Every structure is written in C-alpha cells, then in structure tokens.
Amino acid sequence: MRTGKLRDRVILRRPVKAKDGKGGWSTSFEEVAVDLPACIETLDGREAVMEHVLEGVSSCRIWIRWRGDVAANWQVRLGGVDLNISAPPANPDRRRRWLMLTATTAAVLKTG
C-alpha cells in the first residue's frame, strides 16, 4: 500500500452502550476519528435474506494508517453509508504501517 492511494475519507465509529431506562441497554456509535485518509477496494456484492426480506449486501476492504485501537465491532462511515467491520483488523506487513479492515454494508448488523 502506498500513501498516495489514500484518496477516500472515512469516519471510524465505536459502539457505546447506554442504559435505556427500562432495565436494559441500547447501543449507539460515537465517532472516534473523522476525515481519516483511506483506500477503499470493493470486493463483492450479493443478496441475502435478512428478516424475511431480500437485501443487497456489499463487502469492501478498507486500508488506513496503523491504529492499535480499532476492533471488529466498530463501524466505518463512508459518505453517509455505515459499514460494519466484519473481521478482526489485520496488520498485513506486521510492521504496524497499515491496517486492513474488511467491512460489509450496515444491512448486516451484528447483535450482542
């Protein structure tokens, strides 16, 4: 990966749990990094049945500069579209220069 390929801008978001006032918890996302340089590679598009409805799902690979705090339950916002990180963040060259995130459209929301 070369720095010149970081042409996109993304927002990193992490989940935050808050009491819902009824004895339970609700999860929302807070922004951790805004206007983060990234390279987006589209991987595939497919259809999946979710809650008895056929939904379009797309996957992508997102490259950013190394950060040690990103987790697999975070989201990436790209141009108003929320993407769920669907695999543990990878450090492909093991030199802590780049972080590779695999993400899918937010139609496939993680629970738990």
CATH number for the domain including 93? 2.40.10.270
Q: Report yes or no on 112 lying in a domain.
A: no
Once rounded to an integer, what is the mean pLDDT over residues 9-38? 93
Sign of CA dihedral 36, 41, 45, 51: negative
pTM for the complete prediction?
0.79
Q: What is the dihedral of CA 38, 45, 49, 14, to 10 degrees?
A: 0
Residue 70 within any structural domain of the chain:
yes
Total domains in the fold of the chain:
1
pLDDT of res. 45: 73
Range 62-91 average pLDDT: 94
Q: Is 34 contained in some domain?
A: yes
Residue 107 — pLDDT band, cuts 50, 70, 90?
low
Q: Over 90: is that where the pLDDT of 22 sits?
A: no
Residue 29 domain flag = yes
**111 in a structural domain:** no
State the Cα–Cα distance between residues 83 and 108, nearest whole angstrom.
Answer: 9
Domain that holds residue 37: 3-105
Q: Is the pLDDT at 111 greater than 50, yes or no?
A: no
Which pair of structure tokens corresponds to residue 13?
């978001």
For residues 29-49, give the mean pLDDT. Answer: 88
**Nearest partner of 43 among 94, 1, 99, 100, judged by Cα:** 100
50 within domain boundaries = yes
pLDDT at 109: 47
